[in-house]
Every structure is written in structure tokens, then in C-alpha cells.
Amino acid sequence: MCLLRILVALSFPLVIHADLVLSNQISDGIVLQRGPHSARVWGWCSYDPGKFVVYASGREVGLARQAVERMPASDDPVVFEWTLDMEPQPAGGPYDLMIESEKEGSVKVKDVYWGDVYLCSGQSNMRMR
């Protein structure tokens, strides 16, 4: 069931505001790596967004590193890529993650958890015990 949620989350881009777009890997129900490591979210916007701040259930947990201009594709209106590094968080959740830009509005991601993130792969005859 958890694997199905992850696959569905990775399949669709999350567009909340016309000009502010999160990566399609960031969606409701996501699990972010807990401390001592920091988690990162990223996305795109149509112009320099100014300062970004991330809140987890009302508590500030990160600031934008930088919005970097990139060359757009033929008719692509998205020209800035932004990255947010969050402070290391203890395991827990669910939280509502609010990403706010001083120029482009905000994006909300619901049911965000911080915990250990494992990527597992193998053959079809393998199973976790």
C-alpha cells in the first residue's frame, strides 16, 4: 500500500498556484528524511520568486537557498528553478507543509511526515521480513 502511494505521488505534478510549481515528487502524504540530515524540496516558477520560507504546521523549518534562472524550452513559461533546504527535523507527523514566496503566493502539502526513508529494490522473488 505504501509503495502504491509513492508511485502515485511520483506520477503527477502538484500545481497549486499558476506560477509556483512543486516537483512531481513532492505531494500530500510524503515522507521526508528526519534529522540529522536535512530534507530538500524544489520546484519551478515563472519569475524570480524572492524569499521563500517553509512552515511545518505553523513553525518555520527552512529558507530558500536560491532561485536560479534557466533557459526555457520552446513554449515553457517556467524560467526559474528554486530549492529549499529544511532544517533537520525529528521523526513525527502528520504536518501541513506551507511553502510561501514573497512574490508568488504559497503552496500547501498535507500529511507530511519526517522519518527514515529507505529505497529498496530487488528481484520479484524477494520480500521484506
**pTM of the prediction?**
0.67
- pLDDT confidence of residue 77: 61
pLDDT tens for the chain, 129 residues long, are 555 455 445 444 443 334 778 889 999 999 998 988 888 888 887 776 677 788 888 888 876 656 666 665 656 665 778 888 888 889 998 999 888 887 777 889 999 999 988 887 777 777 766
pLDDT given for residue 66 in this prediction: 60
Per-domain boundaries in the chain: 2-115
The fold for domain 2-115 equals Immunoglobulin-like (2.60.40)
Side by side, the strands of the sheet bearing 20-22 are 14-15, 20-22, 40-45, 80-86, 59-69, 52-56, 92-101, 105-115, 31-33
